[in-house]
Structure 1
Amino acid sequence: MIVEDDPAFLNRFCRIVMSEPQFEICAAVGNGTAAREALAHTAPDVLLVDLDLPDVSGIEIIRETAQRHPQTDIMVVTVFGDERHVLASIAAGATGYLLKDSLPDELVGLIHQLRAGGSPISPIIARVLLRQLRPGERTPPVDHDHDHTKLSNREVEILAFIAKGFSSGEIARLLSISAHTVSTHVKKIYQKLAVHSRGEAVYEATKLGLLAP
């Protein structure tokens, strides 16, 4: 079962899952209300769920699913890599946590891994969890060469679109600029935040208060 409010991502997830003959989609819905209705009538082997749903928190869907269908393996697929979302999802019952920039190539294999008893997580999420296991770990000093205040208004605007899952092409159309210009801005964002992926950029931007968690 897939719960994802962005139609483009929902369609992409469905195509990837259906490419594996062993998988069957019992429901693919775009909001928490529809997810609850589907879960009242079916117990999926796997639930892929986004956290940023339009009507209900994805964490609530995780908690309700874990209570109603304890045999269901639950994997979060989201743009949010901040500590609060990660820990809340795991506490609610998630057994895997992927950032959307980890997709699509790995998804089928990671679902198999989940069903085999594993807990697939994106590398940056592993770092978040490791920090929790080291409560005395000191926060590294601020690197002023990567000061987030150097981000331009346009870069912050593009970051906000990235956090919502938009592709570079979609951002270009929304802002009436070229895809090449968007890519240039994204590279500058990576450099200024000292990151290497969209998921890391969203995580760092959220931690620094540039994006709402």
Structure 2
Amino acid sequence: MTTVLIVDDQALQRLGFSMLMEQYADMAVVGEATHGAEAVRRTADLRPDVVLMDVRMPGMDGIEATRRIVESGGNSRILVLTTFDLDEYAYAALRAGASGFLLKDAQPDELIAGIRAVAAGDAVIAPGLTRRLIDAFSDRFPGRTPDQERRLASLTQREREVLTAVASGWSNPEIAERLSLADSTVKTHVSHVLAKIGARDRVQAVIFAYDTGLVKPA
């Protein structure tokens, strides 16, 4: 069972999401919140698997709420919903620790698949869309920090190659084919990369690769 907290300041939007999830036996809406501060409190109390997070809300927005939830160290993962696929608020939310984002006009099956993917520890942003997002805001990268330098240096040459491939939008089968590796080996490398750089998922790994200059915006 995947538990979900719905965060949106629009009552009809919350109702629509709730009614959709009620149709699936493996999902349960455990609560709702109307703004960021309430989302932080309710996440701490309810510990949902996934927080379905709106961005633009009165008071504390979804970006700050995402940052606080992630920094709390809990296991709840954040799936951000936004109106535009290159919305800078969604970009900021990813930097704050969200596991991905979907458009609010996504098809119902896409939303459900996204929630399941995030709950399973995966990202839900298509690699091409991730690169478009990062390319659009590449001038905001602050440059490599000493901590990032240390984490990058901890990677083996093969792990750097795998991280570069992930950041370039390659799937695991594509990485396996292009680097002449077994699928299981690629999965192992990806897991090691995520652990060494401190990334929660592939989205955060992509951002790390751009932040450190390992991959350059197109």
Q: For the superposition of Structure 1 and Structure 2, which TM-score range results when normalised by the shorter chain? A: 0.5 to 0.7
Q: Displacement of 1:104 after TM fit?
A: 2.4
Alignment correspondent of 1:102: 106
Matching of residue 33 in structure 1 with residue 43 in structure 2: no
Instruction: List alignment gaps of at least 5 residues for structure 1.
Output: 136-213
Matching of residue 116 in structure 1 with residue 120 in structure 2: yes
Identity of aligned residues (%): 30
Q: Is contact 1:5–1:29 with CA below 8 Å preserved after alignment?
A: yes
SS of the equivalent of 1:118 reads coil
Would you say how many aligned residue pairs link Structure 1 and Structure 2?
A: 135
Aligned-partner residue type, residue 89 of structure 2? H
SS of the equivalent of 1:41 reads helix
**What whole-Å deviation, never above 9, does each CA across 1:40-72 have from its counterpart, x for those lacking one?**
312111111000112211101100111114421
Aligned-partner residue type, residue 111 of structure 1? I
After superposition, the CA RMSD in angstroms is 2.5
Q: Is contact 2:43–2:76 with CA below 8 Å preserved after alignment?
A: no
Alignment correspondent of 2:82: 78
Alignment correspondent of 2:69: 65
Aligned-partner residue type, residue 68 of structure 2? E
Matching of residue 92 in structure 1 with residue 96 in structure 2: yes
Take 1:119 and 1:17, find their aligned partners in 2: how far apart are those partners?
20
Alignment correspondent of 2:203: none
Instruction: List alignment gaps of at least 5 residues for structure 2.
Output: 140-218
Matching of residue 47 in structure 1 with residue 67 in structure 2: no
Structure 1 pair 132–79 and aligned structure 2 pair: CA distance change class (3 A): closer
TM score, norm. by length of structure 2? 0.55
Q: Displacement of 1:131 after TM fit?
A: 2.2
**What whole-Å deviation, never above 9, does each CA across 1:56-106 have from its counterpart, x for those lacking one?**
111011001111144211100121433522321111010111111113232
Aligned-partner residue type, residue 61 of structure 1? A
Matching of residue 12 in structure 1 with residue 7 in structure 2: no
Q: Is contact 1:80–1:99 with CA below 8 Å preserved after alignment?
A: yes
TM score, norm. by length of structure 1? 0.56
Between Structure 1 and Structure 2, which shows a larger proportion of strand residues?
2
